[in-house]
């Protein structure tokens, strides 16, 4: 049986924190403009009428996730817990792509219209 001394308690905590951080930075963001034609609809979240659709998207770790803004209003994609790099303001038909990192649940919102929220669930590949 393992007894938790002060020392191994601290080690366990540090291990936990390191793991947490890895999960945080596993998702990298990129943004690009497109002109009209989409790049496929797999793992695509459409922003329309001030909603993220689908509101919850489940993907495998390592897959790309793309948001596309179909509103005439600029929107952003910002991780609530700062787990991935935020998008800049997406104007009409602009898109934003991230690569899903460690398995987990990632909530995000539009920092311009914070009523708009969504969730990415990342599963093991």
Partner 1 sequence: MSDYISHDHEHDGIDRRGFLHCMAWAGTGLLWTISGGVLASKTLAQIAKAGEALPATDLSFLQISDSHIGFSKEANKDVTATFKIALDRINAMPTPPSFLIHTGDITQLSKPEEFDTFDEVLKSCRTKDVFYVPGEHDVLNDNGKLYRERYLKSVEAKGSGWYSFNKNGVHFIGLVNVLDLQAGGLGQLGDDQLEWLEDDVKDLGTSTPIVVFAHIPLWAVYPQWGWGTSDSERALGYLKRFGSVTVLNGHIHQVLQKVEGNVAFHTAMSTAFPQPAPGTAPSPGPMNVPAEKLRGLLGLTSVKYLQGKSSLAVVDSNLS
Taking CB under 8 A as the criterion, the residue among 24, 61, 63, 74 binding partner 1 is 74
As measured in angstroms, the least distance from the Cβ of 27 to partner 1 is 17
CB-based contacts of 79, cutoff 8 Å, min separation 6? 86, 106, 107, 108
Instruction: Check binding of 51 to partner 1 (CB under 8 A).
Output: yes
What is the spatial distance between Cα 2 and Cα 72, in angstroms, rounded to a whole number?
Answer: 60
As measured in angstroms, the least distance from the Cβ of 36 to partner 1 is 16
Which window, 27-35, 36-44, 54-62, 111-119, contacts partner 1 (CB under 8 A)? 111-119
Q: How many CB atoms lie within 10 A of CB 1?
A: 2
Alpha-helical segments (H) within 30-74: none
- Nearest residue (CB) to partner 1, 78 versus 102: 78
Residue with tokens 């001394």: 5
> How many residues of this chain interact with partner 1, rule: CB under 8 A?
23
């Amino acid at each position: 049986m393992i007894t938790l001394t002060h020392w191994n308690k601290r080690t366990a905590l540090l291990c936990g924190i390191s793991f947490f951080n890895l999960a945080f930075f596993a998702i990298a963001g990129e943004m690009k403009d497109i002109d009209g034609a989409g790049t496929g609809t797999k793992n695509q979240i459409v922003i329309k009428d001030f909603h993220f659709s689908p509101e919850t998207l489940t993907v495998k770790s390592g897959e790309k996730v793309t948001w596309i803004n179909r509103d005439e209003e600029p929107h952003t994609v910002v991780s609530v817990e700062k787990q991935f790099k935020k998008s800049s303001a997406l104007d009409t038909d602009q898109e934003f792509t991230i690569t899903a990192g460690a398995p987990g649940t990632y909530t995000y919102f539009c920092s311009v219209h914070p009523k708009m929220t969504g969730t990415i669930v990342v599963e093991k590949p």
